[in-house]
A and B are shown apart, each in its own frame.
Chain A
Amino acid sequence: MGVFAEIIGILVTYVLVSNVILTQFLGLCPFIGVSKNSESAIGMGFAVTFVMTLATMFTWMLYNWLLVPAGLEFLKVISFILVIASLVQFVEMFVKKNSPALYRALGIYLPLITTNCAVMGIALLVVEVEKMSLFNSVLAGFSAGIGFLVAILLMSAIREQLEIEFVPKGLKGAPIAFISAGLMAMAFMAFDKALLMNLVG
């Protein structure tokens, strides 16, 4: 039960309570840039989920197995950038070779998120602030990706509707998108630690 509750706890925390976009305000660039229609939003969401899961795993290993023993924790930011960027490049090549179908679905989004700050943020958060185990870190990375997917999907639905609504000229495009994102962020404030406590005890 304990392990199960922990898994549920991490999932709910990173999908809803501390959603990367709507409560931590990380990765706003793809959030605004790729949310114009649902189709590309889904593609982007899954690409981010995929990369975040892998990136947290590799950066956790790098940090705990290399940097900490060598006493080089202060190099984490720059080395994480290197590792995540090359990891994404590698995955792109691997997917292109082995699964053309997946490459067509995710391919164009992968290079966009090489060092997306949301990916970086979660990787730093789990190793430094939360100090999680490897499995929990990977789970947190996956949940944060799902959180990103949920947020960008909701946003794309809102923006598709906004396209055909009357919007004052000065607010057309990105301004109204940011206002909507702000309102969504307020709605997500309803998910807090207290809710999590009630849920898993």
Chain B
Amino acid sequence: MGSIILGIFIAIISIGLLGAILGAVLSLASEKLKVEEDLRVKELEQILPQYNCGACGFSGCSGYANAVINEGEAINKCTPGGPELLESISKLLGVEAGNLEKMVAQVHCRGGEKSSVDQYKYSGISDCNAKYQLYSGDKLCKFGCLGDGSCIKVCPVNAISYDEENLVWVDKEKCVGCEKCVDICPTNVMKMIPYSADYIVACSSQEKGKVVKSKCSVGCIACSICVKKFPEAGFVVDKNLSSVDYTIKSDRAPVSEACPVKCIIHPYKETKDN
């Protein structure tokens, strides 16, 4: 009995001793091997969004923080952070902010199963770039959204989803503006618009009006009603496609009403239905 008790004590003491020695070594090492980090870099890194999306052109948020402090990089490269972040960075570093509006992505196409015509039935892997290699996709229109959701997969913040009509749609509240979806989209139907944009022309087709009409019922036919009837609203028709000049602030609601194919719409869901 006594020897068992003794054995228990020996075990406790030797493991305790071993643990104490190793702990002492580690705590000494953490003192000796402390890496001197620039506190400004660390502070700046903390206020960055930590998405590590790479939109700034550096390897993640820490890389950008380092570049700003040590290489004098401009402080407005972080699109996900938007104006609020810009303000807090300029406060932290005492640098003038400059003007930068937050940009968000949006799909400029509303051609779905009901509205646009298909040229063949695709049954390969569900990936836009794979589909695009087969005759530029299954839609007759070469400029439209292929709808296989490569952008949904690449989005780091899950801002892109299918809506009730099974069309791809970006939630501008969630979008951080990293432009990854813009890069991956084979038809370039994903475009960046200002966060404050109230209307978009939801079509990217550069074909003539008659051709567009034969392929899709919601495509811009370049009728120029938006330009001629509402010269103040800031619409421009170029290459058979209407687009909005967002630097002009104006009420565009009547233009949306007047558009014969109804492709001038809100770029956000909440008020689109109202």
Contacts and interface: CB of A to CB of B under 8 A. Distances in A.
Interface of A: 70, 72, 74-75, 78-79, 82-83, 86, 89-90, 93-94, 96-97, 164
Given A83-B22, A96-B35, A97-B35, A90 B29 contact: yes
Nearest to B59: A104
Nearest to B34: A97
A93 B22 CA distance: 14
Interface residues of B, number: 17
A24 to B, nearest CB: 27
A70 B14 CA distance: 10
Contacts of B127: 164
Contact of B22 (A72, A74, A82, A96): A82
B29 A94 contact: yes
A75 B19 CA distance: 13
B50 to A, nearest CB: 15
Interface in B1-30: 10-11, 14-15, 18-19, 22-23, 25-26, 29-30
Given A79-B14, A82-B18, 19 more contacts: A70-B14, A72-B11, A72-B14, A74-B11, A75-B14, A78-B15, A79-B15, A79-B18, A83-B22, A86-B22, A86-B26, A89-B26, A90-B25, A90-B26, A90-B29, A93-B33, A96-B33, A96-B35, A97-B34
Contact of B29 (A70, A78, A79, A93): A93
B248 interface: no
B25 A72 contact: no
6 contacts: A72-B11, A72-B14, A75-B15, A86-B22, A86-B25, A97-B33
Contacts of B10: 72
Nearest to A98: B33
B39 interface: no
A94 B34 CA distance: 9
A90 B19 CA distance: 14
Nearest to A89: B26
Contacts of A82: 15, 18-19, 22
Contacts of B18: 79, 82-83
Contacts of A96: 33, 35
A75 B11 contact: yes
Contacts of A83: 18, 22
Nearest to B30: A93
Contacts of B29: 90, 93-94
A97 B30 CA distance: 10
B61 to A, nearest CB: 15
Interface in B92-139: 125, 127
A96 B15 CA distance: 29
What are the 5 A-B residue pairs with the smallest beta carbon separation, nearest first? A86-B22, A97-B33, A93-B33, A93-B29, A86-B26
Contacts of B22: 82-83, 86
Contacts of B23: 86
Nearest to B126: A164
A128 to B, nearest CB: 18
B131 to A, nearest CB: 13
Contacts of B14: 70, 72, 75, 79
Given A82-B22, A83-B22, A164-B125, A94 B15 contact: no
Contacts of A70: 14
Nearest to B22: A86
Contacts of B15: 75, 78-79, 82
A169 B92 CA distance: 50
Interface in B29-49: 29-30, 33-35
A82 B16 CA distance: 10
A142 B73 CA distance: 44
A72 B12 CA distance: 11
Contacts of B30: 93
A97 B125 CA distance: 47
A30 B90 CA distance: 42
A94 B23 CA distance: 16
Contacts of B25: 86, 90
Given A83-B22, A86-B25, A86-B26, A94 B33 contact: yes
A76 to B, nearest CB: 11
Of B15, B23, B29, most A-chain CB atoms within 10 Å: B29
A78 B16 CA distance: 11
A115 to B, nearest CB: 13
